[in-house]
Structure 1
Amino acid sequence: MPPSRLAVGRGGVPRLLLLLVLGCAGGAYRPVVIIHGLFDSPSDFRHLRAFINESHPGTEVTVLDLFDRGASLRPLWLQVEGFRRALAPIMANAADGVHLLGYSQGGLISRALLATTPDHNVRSFISLAAPQMGQYGDTAYLQWLFPRHMKSNLYRLCYTPLGQGVSICNYWNDPHHRDLYLNSSDFLAPLNDERMHPNASEWKRNLLRIQNLVLIGGPDDGVITPWQSSLFGFYDANETVRDMEEQEVFVRDTFGLRTLLLRGALGGCAVPGVAHTAWHSLRPIFERCIRPWLT
């Protein structure tokens, strides 16, 4: 079946996202591995696990039990290494590959894991409400974590060695202090190849081993700021949201995003009316945005 195109104007869903409806491949379903987000634990994904088991009986579903709750504040490269060790035996036992779903902060961890794992066999990578282009906003999480810092001055902490020891600072992307971000971000800037590093070509090649990249988010998320970061959109210096295809990382194809689009491997859903903590608990979201990719 040919892909259908989602098309909206500036500040909304990136015009180039595709939604492929895939047919059942037959035989056993591939294992699904889930990496949770900030302050989450495996128990938070009981609904999603049930949805998968009901629609695809017999599917092996694993929510990796690492860096739960407060431990999710640990530096992201540390978490990437831990999740890689946990994922390795699951992939080794899945000759036909696995599907990887990363929720919220876990979506960034998942992308970094794929980029730095040369022999992974992930078929569909589903990024569920994840700040793929970073975070810049005074959300409830931020106010709880950093009560003395508003978004306008959090860079003073995040862009220091001390701040880079906290996960949220690893993807804090202040559009008003671009140079500090590029020079100080130990995680997102190199992951996006916005700062030169010797592993860039290898990381891009590794990420492109996936067959599908699925981006899911929506305007009523309430946590991911701007919400279009879930779809690789982000603010410019005037805090105007620029869609994915206007981002330098897309135009220059720094880590493979444009390549994925051109080969028809980029899919997505933008759904209004969904709060951040509800993405993995709503059956309609599963049926529309996740289930078609778990074949």
Structure 2
Amino acid sequence: MLCNRKMFLVVLLHVFTLSFLLAANFKLSPGPKAIVFIHGILGNYQEGSDIQKWVAEVHPDTPFYSIALYQRIKSLAPLWKQVDIIRKEVEGIMNNHSDGIHLICFSQGGLICRGILSTTQHNVDTFISLSSPLAGQYGDTSYLKYLFPNFLKSEIYKVFYSKTGQDLSIGNYWKDPHHLELYQKHSNFLAPLNNDTYTSEINDYKKNFLRLSRIVLIGGPDDGVITPWESSHFAFYDSNEKVVEFNQQRYFTEDSFGLKTLFNEGKIKIYVIPGVQHIHWHSNRTVFNSAILPWLI
């Protein structure tokens, strides 16, 4: 009888120990990080619907938030204004997910995310930039023709590099390589973010940007909107409209906002994906499987 009692106590101890270890492991292994999606110019929160569906298929417990602010025509509002409002909503999400979040940002949304990442002591783990004009925009694209049918890329600087032009989001990141002095003088969003013009906040921008664990840059030669398409990888035109790679840009070589540091630490992943038009990046399953899903961990 005594032997049976001892055996029972031993078994009970093992069960208790196993239960404790399982519980501890559960606490130490949180679920997938929450994802925040920010739409592009003239778009809305539904641009994130396919990605949300595919994430749910692979990681069903992943919290997913698609920001429903500054949609459609309202997306033409000045970018700092958009950043200020959208940042408040994203900060609320971050506060509810202390283990960190991922940002997936499409097109103009990538610039909004850059503004948030530069001005917030965030807990963003991975910033996934989905065909965003991170180094600026300069091209006769369908969007430009739709918004300004009477202007060519070579003339539109006269509009964008003015007080009125800076009241439009696209004017905030229009970078005419033939009029860089005007860009530096008038651009109140991209120029200070990239330290193309002096700002007293650049050290804070850099410190906050370096909080990232990873940046994923996605773009491709058949985009048709982002011009040059390499802007999605922080590259841009020189004065002869030849693309200068990101690692030869001044803001990289001088490490103005932390890009070089992140690159040297192996925290930047670059994807060049051909055959994808701009409006299809967020709804292309191959793009999701190859360039987005691997980093949602």
Alignment TM-score > 0.5, same fold: yes
Aligned to 1:58: 61
2:246 pairs, out of 244, 248, 253, with 244
Taking structure 2 as the reference length, the TM-score comes to 0.90
Aligned pairs (5 A) from 1:49-198: 49-117=52-120, 119-198=121-200
How far 1:95 moved relative to its partner? Answer: 1.5
Structure 2: 5+ residue runs without aligned partners?
Answer: 1-27
Aligned to 1:254: 256
Aligned to 2:48: 45
How far 1:259 moved relative to its partner? Answer: 0.5
After the TM superposition, list the runs of 4 or more consecutive aligned residues in structure 1 that deviate by more than 2 angstroms. none
1:33 pairs, out of 9, 31, 36, with 36
What secondary structure sits across from 2:283 in the alignment? Answer: coil
Structure 1: 5+ residue runs without aligned partners?
Answer: 1-24
- In terms of fraction of residues, the more helix-rich structure is 2
Aligned to 2:25: none
How far 1:74 moved relative to its partner? Answer: 0.3
Q: Which has the larger radius of gyration?
A: 2
Aligned pairs (5 A) from 1:208-287: 208-287=210-289
How far 1:44 moved relative to its partner? Answer: 2.3
CA distance in 1, matches of 2:157, 2:285: 38
CA distance in 1, matches of 2:287, 2:135: 22
> What amino acid is aligned across from residue 114 of structure 1 in structure 2?
L
Q: Deviations over 1:167-195 (max 9, x none)?
A: 00000000000100011101000010111
How far 1:27 moved relative to its partner? Answer: 3.8
Query: Identity percentage over the alignment?
Result: 47
What secondary structure sits across from 2:224 in the alignment? Answer: coil
Q: Deviations over 1:108-156 (max 9, x none)?
A: 1001111001x21000001100000000000000001011110001110
Given that 1:126 and 1:213 are in contact with CA atoms closer than 8 Å, whether structure 2 keeps it comes out as yes
CA distance in 2, matches of 1:275, 1:261: 27
Q: Deviations over 1:229-279 (max 9, x none)?
A: 000111000000111111111111111110000111111211000000111
CA distance in 2, matches of 1:226, 1:61: 31
Taking structure 1 as the reference length, the TM-score comes to 0.90
CA distance in 2, matches of 1:94, 1:50: 21
> What amino acid is aligned across from residue 44 of structure 2 in structure 1?
S
- Relative CO higher for 1 or 2, CA cutoff 8 Å, sep ≥ 6? 1
Given that 1:217 and 1:269 are in contact with CA atoms closer than 8 Å, whether structure 2 keeps it comes out as yes
CA distance in 1, matches of 2:200, 2:233: 27
Q: How many residues align?
A: 270
Aligned to 2:14: none
CA distance in 1, matches of 2:63, 2:218: 22
How far 1:26 moved relative to its partner? Answer: 5.3
Given that 1:105 and 1:131 are in contact with CA atoms closer than 8 Å, whether structure 2 keeps it comes out as yes
Q: CA RMSD of the aligned region, Å?
A: 1.0
